[in-house]
Structure formats: structure tokens, C-alpha cells
A and B are shown apart, each in its own frame.
Chain A
Amino acid sequence: MQYQSSLSREALTELALHKYFANVDAKNLDAVLDCFHDNAMLTVQTSFVVHDSRDSIRRMFVDFMAAYKTIIHRDFTCTVDEKNGRIAASFVAELEDHDGNVTLLHNTNFWRIREDKFQEVYVYMSGENPLV
């Protein structure tokens, strides 16, 4: 689907890295959900898991944030398509559970923006999916 985005190159990067990932890492659930439209869809493509509303995305993040003591997303490389309201980023996800076990993932996200929020998000993971 092609959406109309109102965001500049800088604003697309700000939305994906700072409004979204920084708040995931800080476990600020409301700020994370504010990045999504009500009917947004988040798909983990490498395991065919689909969360097809903001309520479903909320449930997924509640479980994800509870499952890990620390969540760190780092080493971003962004690819920005301002004209089409799309941004992709590769990054490392460093997840430490409550027993001290650390999982490192080398992932890529794709975001499709309608107006100024996420309409579709696709996640491709290098390992087992923790976003269930």
C-alpha cells in the first residue's frame, strides 16, 4: 500500500529511532504506542507473526517489556525514502532476561508511514522471535 506521509527525512529518522526505539528501550509503553495508528499492523516476517491493531501491538509490547530486564537497540544504519514515507533500519537488539541471559539479534525493520505515524511495520530477525 502507498501512503501519504507528511514527514521529512529527519523526521522519519526521529520517529523510528528516538520516538520509537528509544522508548522501547526505556519501556515507555504509551510513548511507543503513540507512534502507531489505531489500525496499524506489525508483522515479524521471518516467523509469520502478525499483530493487526494497536491493541494487539500493545499486548505484544507488554509481554516483551516484562520478559526482559534490559532492552537495548543500537548500531543503527538507516535507509530513508522520504518521497514514499518509508524508512528501513538495520540494528543490533541486545536483550537481557531476568536470569542474566543475553540474546543478540541482528535485525532489520521496515516502517511505512501514513501522515506522521506508523501504518505498517515489518521486522526481519536473525534469530528466534521474541515479539510473540
Chain B
Amino acid sequence: MSKPNYEHYIDIVTKRYFDGVDNYNMEQVLDCFHPDAVLTEVTSMTVHKGRDEGIKTMFKGLFEGFNHIWHGNFVHTADIESEAICSQFTVVITPDGGEELRYENCNRFYMRDGKFTEVFVYMSGDNLLR
């Protein structure tokens, strides 16, 4: 498979991955990852291994614990040559029965054949991706 174009990197992050997260669409979210993908929350060194194991379990916990999730204000650094995109963004999220929280985060996405192999998350506050 040839390397995807620039638009693919922006679109998989915003129109597929974060759209799926914000709309609680587990299938759409997981479809962005390879089966052997790894997601690491760097600020707390929490590692989730496997699309259908650790990553799915993490998103199940996120979807059950929060009744509103929004990602926006994106600025991307996308690199076709190294098959990677690093994205800065705002997260507005409301825990069940709690007050709205705002984060200024970044993710680094590394890809193979247009899907995520490794994702690294930095959060500006407490880790929500447990």
C-alpha cells in the first residue's frame, strides 16, 4: 500500500478518531487502530496494549465515566514521510455527576498503512485514560 496523502492524516485524527470518541462510537474509534496498536498516556506512563484488549477497555471506561466529551481547536503537524501526525487540541469533558473539565492536550500518532500503530497522549491535568 502506498503512503496516504496529507489529508488522510488530518482526516483520520479529526473526522474518524476524535469524531468517534466524541460520539461514543466504539467501532469507529477502534477501526482507526491496528490490532497490535499501543496507546500510552505519557504524563502518567499508563500503557494500553492491543486494539481489542487494552485500548478497548480504556475507551469503555472513558465512555462509561463521562457524559459529554468534546475535542477541538486542533493544530496539526503532519508528516507523510515519517507516517506520523502530532496534534494539539482542547478537550472539554464532563464526568458523570461532576463539573465540566478543560484540558489542553497533545497526541502523537504513528501509522502504518494509514492506521495507528502507536499513540502517545500528553494531558495538561489528571490522567482520564486509565
Instruction: Please give the residue numbers on chain A whose beta carbons come within 8 Å of chain B beta carbons, in ascending order.
Output: 9, 45-48, 78-81, 83-84, 86-88, 90, 106, 108, 110, 112, 122, 124-126
Q: Is the CB of B79 within 8 A of A80?
A: yes
Chain B interface residue count: which class? 20 to 34
A9, A80, A81, A106, most chain B CB atoms within 10 A: A81
Task: Name the segment of B50-58, B65-73, B82-90 touching the other chain.
Answer: B82-90
Known: A46-B43, A79-B86, A108-B120. A124 touches B106 (CB 8 A): yes
Asked if B45 is an interface residue, CB under 8 A from chain A, the answer is yes
Find A86's partner among B77, B81, B82 (CB 8 Å cutoff). B77
Q: Tell me the dominant secondary structure on chain B's binding face.
A: strand
Asked if B122 is an interface residue, CB under 8 A from chain A, the answer is yes
Q: Is the CB of A45 within 8 A of B79?
A: no
Known: A79-B82, A79-B84, A110-B86. A122 touches B106 (CB 8 A): yes
Question: What are 21 pairs between A and B in contact, CB < 8 Å?
Answer: A45-B88, A45-B124, A46-B123, A47-B124, A48-B124, A78-B82, A79-B108, A84-B77, A86-B75, A86-B77, A88-B86, A88-B108, A90-B108, A106-B42, A108-B106, A110-B86, A110-B106, A122-B106, A124-B122, A125-B43, A125-B122
A80, A112, A122, most chain B CB atoms within 10 A: A80
Find B88's partner among A79, A110, A126 (CB 8 Å cutoff). A110
Residues from chain A with a CB closer than 8 A to the CB of B84 are 79
Q: Mark B5-49, 1 if CB is under 8 A from A, else 0.
A: 010000000000000000000000000000000000011010000
B77, B81, B106, most chain A CB atoms within 10 A: B77
A79, A84, A106, A108, most chain B CB atoms within 10 A: A79
Asked if B78 is an interface residue, CB under 8 A from chain A, the answer is yes
Residues from chain B with a CB closer than 8 A to the CB of A84 are 76-77
